[in-house]
A and B are shown apart, each in its own frame.
Chain A
Amino acid sequence: MEIKILGTGCPKCKTLEKLTREVVEQNGIDATVTKVEDIYQIMKYGVMTTPALVVNEKVEIKGRIPSANEIKQVLTKTI
């Protein structure tokens, strides 16, 4: 699974990245987590509010920091 965190580098985006990595690790999910900070790239996903969580090129959550539980649900849904 390919996970991307979209965000221009604000504290909220860093929190989401950290949280996602934790969820991936704790649940032994086979995934790569990359942070996308480039605004050109971010705009390709049509996201207007950051941070955003993208799983396999699909925007799942945007504009807020979800709870660890919610991230887990999103990720396990996609497997």
Chain B
Amino acid sequence: MEKRNKIKLLASIAILLPALLVLYYFLQPLVDYLTYGLIGLHTETHLGASVNFFIYDTIKILILLFLISSLMGLVNAYFPVDRLRIYLTTKKLYGFQYFFAALFGAITPFCSCSSIPLFIGFVKGGIPLGVTFAFLITSPLVNEVAVAMFLGLFGIKATLVYAISGIFMGTIGGFILGKFKLDRHLSDWVKEIQANSEQESEQWETDQTPFIDRLPIIIREGWGIVKSVLLYVIIGIAIGAAMHGYVPENFFTAYLSADKWYAVPLAVILAVPMYANAAGIVPVIQVFVAKGVPLGTALAFMMAVVGLSLPEATLLKKVMKWKLIGIFFGTITVFIILLGYLFNRII
């Protein structure tokens, strides 16, 4: 990169980053001023509260999403999934490989169209099926969009609970699935690849691109993620904001409270046919929680929506036989339900 461009880039980051942080910090008073001052809505009305909530949450979440996506992009620039594959195949990890795979599933930006190439890539590299599953479980469950939405709407504690239990689930789930001889349920062509897999001996060649040249790419990617979910964020928060104002307090408590044993499985079953991304679903769940649904039930619902999707299952059909898809999704379902019960008890 030319020197002049470099200076320009650094200068814009030096302005943009603090500006975003200041905006984030003073967002509530700013939005209050906008909705109640400039637009002149009343603080006590449903409409006023909803509009205020909508503007505030949308901006807050977009800032968070941009920052988190860029941060994940940064990690991925230095530790891409190719490097993870070499790491998993060449190092003796004493059981920790499940954890690493799950952890990387969480920090790799998720794109459902990449899940098949990733799966084959792992199989081809001779990585055991269980470890591959660990990655595959966490990857859609914990992603930049879900984390940003959680952070914005539920705060840091719930976000940590969500992310850690997602990674934990991937680790344990992968480990358990790895104990069964499931390889025979792969599609025939995948089995062939598996038989010809080679333990890679190649060393990771460090990409020598200097940090300053990577930065614009990372920021572009971060912005690209924000742009791609922008519409869903706005729609999700709009629905959430509307519900906030009009759904009565404790509306859901009667049906979905923690002492009803069937609440968690019911939430999970209801979630399966829903194909929504995290951006659209978290704001609605936030309203559920605010109106009396326990957090564990809500988390289970959320995990089931993003982790158990029918389109994902059809995609996996290319590499697995139906039986294996069933086992895979069945395991995740059981885990999600157990986590739901657990959180309802401890939170």
Distance in Å: Cβ of B220 to nearest Cβ of chain A: 7
From B113, B118, B124, B221, give the contact of A7 (CB < 8 A): B113
Select the residue from B80, B111, B220, B224 with max chain A CB neighbours within 10 A: B111
Is B121 a contact of A10 with CB atoms below 8 Å? no
In Å, the complex CA distance between A50 and B114 comes to 6
Interface set of B (CB-CB < 8 Å, partner A): 80-82, 85, 111-114, 116-118, 120-122, 124, 189, 193, 217, 220-221, 224, 318
Is A63 a contact of B113 with CB atoms below 8 Å? no
From A8, A65, A66, give the contact of B116 (CB < 8 A): A8
Given contacts A39-B116, A40-B189, A67-B220, contact A48 B111 (CB under 8 A): no
Is A43 a contact of B117 with CB atoms below 8 Å? yes
When C-beta atoms are compared, the residue in chain A nearest to B81 turns out to be A48
Is B117 a contact of A12 with CB atoms below 8 Å? no
A-side interface size class:
20 to 34
**4 closest Cβ pairs, A-B complex:** A10-B113, A48-B121, A48-B118, A49-B114
For B193, the chain A residues whose CB sits under 8 A away are 43
For B111, the chain A residues whose CB sits under 8 A away are 10, 12, 49-50
Is A49 a contact of B224 with CB atoms below 8 Å? no
When C-beta atoms are compared, the residue in chain B nearest to A9 turns out to be B113
Is B80 a contact of A63 with CB atoms below 8 Å? yes
Binary interface encoding of chain A residues 17-48 relative to chain B, with 1 for a CB under 8 A from any of its CBs, else 0: 00000000000000000000001101100111
Distance in Å: Cβ of B329 to nearest Cβ of chain A: 21
For A40, the chain B residues whose CB sits under 8 A away are 189
Distance in Å: Cβ of A6 to nearest Cβ of chain B: 8
Is A42 a contact of B189 with CB atoms below 8 Å? no
From A13, A42, A65, A70, give the contact of B224 (CB < 8 A): A65
Is B114 a contact of A46 with CB atoms below 8 Å? no
Asked whether A64 is an interface residue with its Cβ less than 8 Å from the other chain, the reply is: yes
17 CB < 8 A contacts A-B: A8-B113, A8-B116, A9-B113, A10-B111, A10-B112, A10-B113, A39-B116, A39-B120, A46-B121, A46-B124, A48-B85, A49-B118, A50-B113, A63-B80, A64-B224, A66-B217, A67-B220
Is A64 a contact of B113 with CB atoms below 8 Å? no
In Å, the complex CA distance between A12 and B189 comes to 26
Select the residue from A12, A40, A64, A67 with max chain B CB neighbours within 10 A: A64
For A39, the chain B residues whose CB sits under 8 A away are 116-117, 120, 318
